[in-house]
Chains A and B, each alone.
Chain A
Amino acid sequence: EVQLVESGGGLVKPGGSLRLSCAASGFKFSDYRMNWVRQAPGKGLEWVSSISSSSISIDYADSVKGRFTISRDNAKNSLHLQMNSLRAEDTAVYYCARLDYYGSGSLETILDYWGQGTLVIVSS
Chain B
Amino acid sequence: IQMTQSPSSLSASVGDRVTITCRASQSISSYLNWYQQKPGKAPKLLISGASSLQSGVPSRFSGSGSGTDFTLTISSLQPEDFATYYCQQSYSTLTFGPGTKVDIK
Bound state CA distance, A107 and B50, in angstroms? 13
> A107 and B91: CB pair below 8 A?
yes
| A109 touches B (CB below 8 Å) | yes
Q: Which residues of A contact B (CB under 8 A)?
A: 35, 44-47, 50, 59, 61, 95, 102-103, 107-112, 114-117
Q: What is the distance, in angstroms, from A105's C-beta to the closest C-beta of chain B?
A: 9
Q: Which residues in A have their C-beta under 8 angstroms from that of B33?
A: 110-111
> B31 and A47: CB pair below 8 A?
no
Q: What is the distance, in angstroms, from A111's C-beta to the closest C-beta of chain B?
A: 7
Known A-B contacts A59-B93, A108-B31, A110-B33; the reply to A44 vs B45 at CB < 8 A is no
Known A-B contacts A107-B91, A111-B88; the reply to A47 vs B48 at CB < 8 A is no
Known A-B contacts A102-B48, A109-B90, A110-B90; the reply to A115 vs B98 at CB < 8 A is no
Q: What is the distance, in angstroms, from A13's C-beta to the closest C-beta of chain B?
A: 26
Q: Which residues of B contact A (CB under 8 A)?
A: 29, 31, 33, 35, 37, 41-45, 48-49, 52, 54, 86, 88, 90-91, 93-99
16 A-B contacts, Cβ less than 8 Å apart? A35-B94, A44-B86, A44-B98, A44-B99, A45-B99, A46-B96, A47-B95, A47-B96, A107-B31, A110-B33, A110-B45, A111-B45, A111-B88, A114-B43, A114-B44, A117-B42
Q: Which residues in B have their C-beta under 8 angstroms from that of A35?
A: 94
> B31 and A115: CB pair below 8 A?
no
Bound state CA distance, A23 and B41, in angstroms? 18
> A103 and B49: CB pair below 8 A?
yes
Q: What is the distance, in angstroms, from B20's C-beta to the closest C-beta of chain A?
A: 14
Q: What is the distance, in angstroms, from A25's C-beta to the closest C-beta of chain B?
A: 16
